[in-house]
A and B are shown apart, each in its own frame.
Chain A
Amino acid sequence: EPEVTQTPSHQVTQMGQEVILRCVPISNHLYFYWYRQILGQKVEFLVSFYNNEISEKSEIFDDQFSVERPDGSNFTLKIRSTKLEDSAMYFCASSREPNTGELFFGEGSRLTVL
């Protein structure tokens, strides 16, 4: 069964460093998403992406965050200058259609900022 894959599974970084989290969505999906989950808290929407542009973003997704689809398969989330409060699990998801709630999630990348 096709799946969304994410790398790295765990990254430890120093505060102020740039981090790039990578995702390979399901191959025939056209809509991509990033969510995050701080330990013990709710899953929070960050951004959705379609046709090489952001279609929706939350208040969390400020200027420190950016997303890119650098080639036909990868979808990346960059955090320019990490803060302690960026420590969380970051989930990538993809979907076949727009405006659907049926998303396929990856296993997540755990980011620890020291």
Chain B
Amino acid sequence: DAKTTQPPSMDCAEGRAANLPCNHSTISGNEYVYWYRQIHSQGPQYIIHGLKNNETNEMASLIITEDRKSSTLILPHATLRDTAVYYCIVRVLGRSNYQLIWGAGTKLIIKP
């Protein structure tokens, strides 16, 4: 089962920052948090990941709380094309390799 919980849906106005929360209270010390998005049944797209420090790239910023029990993905200036399902994923160790266990995600709708 996924180790993350996310709100099922959110709205954001175009041009504003979209802040997507994620709870992962059972995360272990060496488990990374990954964010992906999926635009209308297309293939998932990697956004960003982190362990304990905040991270930023050209797509987004990831803020992880000090206790690592939650994180927030920030899209600084949301556009209509950012409408998608956003998945917060904890990478866990399977039988021999790390795996991404996907939850239901947050459906983010950007409104004009």
A interacts with B: yes
Q: Could you tell me which A residues sit within 8 Å of B by CB distance?
A: 4, 37, 42-45, 48, 55-56, 89, 91, 93, 98-108
B91 CB to nearest A CB, Å: 4
What is the count of residue pairs linking A and B with beta-carbon distances less than 8 angstroms? 56
* In the complex with contacts A42-B104, A101-B34, A107-B43 CB distance below 8 A: yes
What residues of A have a CB within 8 angstroms of the CB of B45 in the complex? 105
B96 CB to nearest A CB, Å: 6
* In the complex with contacts A105-B44, A106-B43, A42-B100 CB distance below 8 A: no
Check if B103 sits within 8 Å of A105, measured CB to CB: no
Check if A101 sits within 8 Å of B43, measured CB to CB: no
What residues of B have a CB within 8 angstroms of the CB of A108 in the complex? 41-43
What residues of B have a CB within 8 angstroms of the CB of A45 in the complex? 99-102
B87 is contacted by which of A43, A89, A106 (Cβ under 8 Å)? A43
Cα distance A102–B94 in the bound complex, in angstroms: 16
Cα distance A98–B89 in the bound complex, in angstroms: 17
B85 CB to nearest A CB, Å: 10
Check if A91 sits within 8 Å of B43, measured CB to CB: yes
